[in-house]
């Protein structure tokens, strides 16, 4: 049997009622003991790295999880990270950039109900995650949840209570787990083969990274928002991810204060100062195309503005932190940003 390291970080799966609401209290050992069937799948090591609600998960914690995997990488054949669902998609994306081209699977899972709940989804999610982690064809960072296997850069929590909490955004699920069998998605395989044909396929040698620039802000446009907000962000942030309207609409009006800049001027000034601006859409599906409408076209060809295209906001946050953590040079940041990692963005046709 393979050796799999179970890394416990807390979350709903480890939670119990303490009089003030659910909070993580069960250990990794207790969670493993609650699903004795996993002992037949692998030799399981257990690491209790932290025990927190994932609402409190920060980039420094992503680095702790990544470091724990790297330190144990040679001793294990795969890894299963037990994690809260609320920020799981962010952590999965971050691990995709911190540990790239991993020939060993790194699986994130959790549950919508605590392990101790009578009608929990925790047991099946843990079992299926171990099953996937022991499969010979499994690799890279994925989320395994409710039978779906989702690329680590494509996951998003879409439901707050239902067991099918996660979906794969703008990319097919990698596989499905059904009746103790792993069924690979034909569409995902075809796209993977297409990436291989364009020399973008993952290698067999993993690459590890240890730095992130946490100073990244997500700004969601709302009707009437004042462009002077960029001036308020300058002292605390190095990058802004701008969630635009529709397929890429950015308001053309100026700020409410006399002499304040328009959005166009504020964004261009932000980029000219050496900071990073990433433009994406707040619409969940189908992605960005700044060239369609007049309200977006001015940004389409600006060399300093990065386009999120079909990426999720969760992946954009993690990738921007990662890219800026590797370099402060705008050209190098741009190169890293546009290089596909773990199916985070499809190459141009």
Query: One of 12, 91, 312, 320 is an active-site residue; which one?
Result: 12
Classified as helix, coil or strand, 51 is: strand
| CA angle, 101 then 331 then 195, to 5° | 35
- The Cα-based distances of 287 to 89, 170, 244, 321 in angstroms read 18, 8, 11, 21
Token couple for 27:
């250990």
Report the C-alpha gap between 297 and 285 in whole angstroms: 20
Q: Please give the Cα distance from 169 to 308 (Å, whole number).
A: 13
Question: Which residues touch 224 (CB under 8 Å, ≥6 apart)?
Answer: none
Q: In the structure encoding, which two tokens stand for residue 290, read together?
A: 């700044």
Residue 220's CB is within 10 A of a number of other CB atoms, namely: 12
CB 66, CB 79: distance < 8 Å? no
User: Is 12 an annotated catalytic residue?
Assistant: yes
* Catalytic residue ranges: 12
């Amino acid at each position: 049997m393979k050796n799999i390291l179970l890394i416990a970080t807390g979350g709903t799966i480890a939670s119990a009622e303490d009089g003030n609401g659910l909070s993580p209290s069960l250990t990794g050992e207790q969670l493993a003991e609650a699903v004795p069937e996993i002992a037949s799948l692998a030799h399981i090591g257990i690491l209790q790295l932290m025990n927190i609600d994932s609402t409190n998960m920060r980039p420094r914690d992503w680095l702790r999880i990544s470091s724990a995997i790297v330190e144990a990488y040679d001793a294990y054949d795969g890894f299963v990270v037990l994690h809260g669902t609320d920020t799981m998609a962010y952590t999965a994306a971050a691990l995709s950039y911190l540990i790239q081209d991993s020939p060993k699977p790194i699986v994130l899972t959790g549950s919508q109900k605590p392990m101790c709940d009578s009608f929990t989804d925790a047991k099946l999610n843990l079992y299926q995650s171990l099953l996937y982690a022991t499969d010979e064809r499994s690799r890279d960072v994925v989320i395994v949840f409710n039978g779906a296997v989702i690329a680590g850069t494509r996951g998003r929590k879409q439901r707050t209570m239902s067991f099918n909490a996660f979906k794969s955004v703008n990319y097919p699920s990698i596989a499905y787990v059904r009746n103790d069998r792993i069924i690979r998605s034909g569409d995902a395989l075809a796209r993977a083969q297409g990436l291989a044909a364009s020399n973008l396929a993952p290698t067999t040698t993993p690459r590890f990274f240890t730095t992130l620039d946490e100073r990244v802000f997500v700004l969601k446009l709302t009707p009437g928002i004042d462009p002077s907000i960029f001036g308020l962000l300058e002292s605390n942030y190095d990058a802004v991810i701008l969630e635009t309207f529709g397929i890429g609409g950015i308001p053309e009006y100026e700020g409410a204060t006399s002499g304040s800049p328009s959005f166009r001027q504020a964004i261009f000034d932000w980029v000219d100062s050496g900071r990073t601006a990433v433009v994406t859409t707040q619409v969940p599906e189908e992605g960005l195309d700044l060239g369609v409408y007049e309200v977006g076209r001015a940004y389409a060809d600006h060399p300093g503005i990065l386009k999120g295209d079909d990426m999720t906001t969760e992946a954009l946050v993690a990738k921007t932190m990662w890219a800026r953590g590797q370099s402060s040079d705008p050209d190098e940041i741009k190169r890293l940003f546009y290089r596909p990692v773990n199916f985070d963005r499809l190459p141009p046709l």
